Amino acid sequence: MVDVYVSDHNKNFREILTGYDPNSFIETWVENEQYQVDFVLHKLEANSFEFDLVDYESSLFLEGQEFIVKKVVLSANGSIVSKNVNAQHISLTMQDGYQYNTKTGTLSVMDCLKHIFSGELGDMGFVYDFVDKNKIVEKVEQENFGNANYLQLVQEVLNDYKLVMLVDNKHLTFIPREDYGQTTENEIRYQYNTDEVSFDIDTMSLKTEIRGFGKKKEDDTYYFSPRTYRSSEYLRWGRRIQAPIEDDRYTVAGNMDRRLVLELQDYPATSGNITLRLPYKCGKGDFVRFIYEPLGLDYDIQIVGYKRYPFSSIIPPEIILSNNKRSIMSIMAQLARTINKKGVK
């Protein structure tokens, strides 16, 4: 059994946490959006010191990851005193730093990251790498990049350069979305390891062709001719044109080509929640084969979030799957809100 540790804000004490309800302990992760733990802690005669340590800005350590307590609700029912606790992953503390200065020009990912973490509070102890093994991410024209907190600016980088951020405490690794996630042999099959399925399947957004327009020069000509990408799914579904991308940050055709491939929704957009009834190791970003006979579904979908109960033997994990390329951020934000509503009461 993995232990949870608690430490005060100044790291003077570090103790094994006991007295929490194992069925209330939830770890929630949503890609590029959310990473937190929630639980109910009961005050016992044997854990009074640890109980008091769990307070605002104290630290919890789960499987090597540090979470900072941000919300504590103290309650009493007769002689039973409890705390409802919410703790956010330490990587989200970057929101406390602010970069007042702005930068304009054709910037690489590392240019942006160096600018972010040279802000008012320095790097705050964060270290970061950018791993682009296939050299597919090019520079992007930025205008007035800055004047926001570190977390907001990192989100801009993730969106502008189509990246995923992997976190290991304060070590941040940025990778292209194309390189993210492992294709696994795992199957999620209806009535085998799941029987609660809530899915949104949309063919209205199914398209096979998209065009992109970049920046114009002063003489009203483009830096590069408009680019058109047509998917191989054209042979199956015919010509279906997605709304064009018009973005004057692009001065390099290769950048636009990559974005067109990433954003064209050339298969039915599918997203939803699955409650598993068998143990399942939720790998961040894994591609799993989803088979759901009642709807005739059989294809790979990526895990973009999960809610798991690491100390419960009776509550199965819930995983969030999506292959919706066009609105992945809005889907994950909505799913994050849904998870929050289902949190510890």
Residue-level pLDDT at 195: 58
Please tell me whether residues 119 and 45 are part of one structural domain.
no
Which domain covers residue 284, as residue numbers? 182-202+267-341
Please tell me whether residues 10 and 133 are part of one structural domain.
no
- Which residues, in sequence order, are bridge partners of residue 275? 196, 318
Q: What residue ranges of the chain have pLDDT lower than 70?
A: 1, 189-201, 271-273, 275-282, 294-297, 323-345
- In sequence order, the 6+-apart residues with CB closer than 8 A to the CB of 131 are 173, 174, 175, 179
Last residue of a domain, one of 41, 59, 89: 89
Please tell me whether residues 49 and 171 are part of one structural domain.
no
**Taking the CA of residue 319 as centre, how many other CA atoms within 13 Å lie in the half-sphere pointing to its CB?**
25
**Angstrom distance (rounded) from CA 316 to CA 148:** 39
Q: How is 67-93 classified by DSSP, letter by letter?
A: EEEEEEEEEEETTEEEEEEEEEEGGGG
- In 10 A of CB 276, how many CB atoms? 18
Model confidence pTM above 0.75: yes
Please tell me whether residues 192 and 329 are part of one structural domain.
yes
Please tell me whether residues 187 and 291 are part of one structural domain.
yes
- In 10 A of CB 220, how many CB atoms? 6
Residue-level pLDDT at 224: 95
Please tell me whether residues 43 and 188 are part of one structural domain.
no
Residue-level pLDDT at 181: 84
Number of domains making up the chain: 4
How would you list the strands of the sheet with 227-230, edge to edge? Answer: 227-230, 209-213, 245-246
Last residue of a domain, one of 220, 242, 263: 263
Last residue of a domain, one of 70, 89, 108: 89
Residue-level pLDDT at 337: 46
Please tell me whether residues 187 and 286 are part of one structural domain.
yes
Domain holding 303: CATH number? 2.40.30
**Angstrom distance (rounded) from CA 233 to CA 211:** 16
Please tell me whether residues 41 and 132 are part of one structural domain.
no
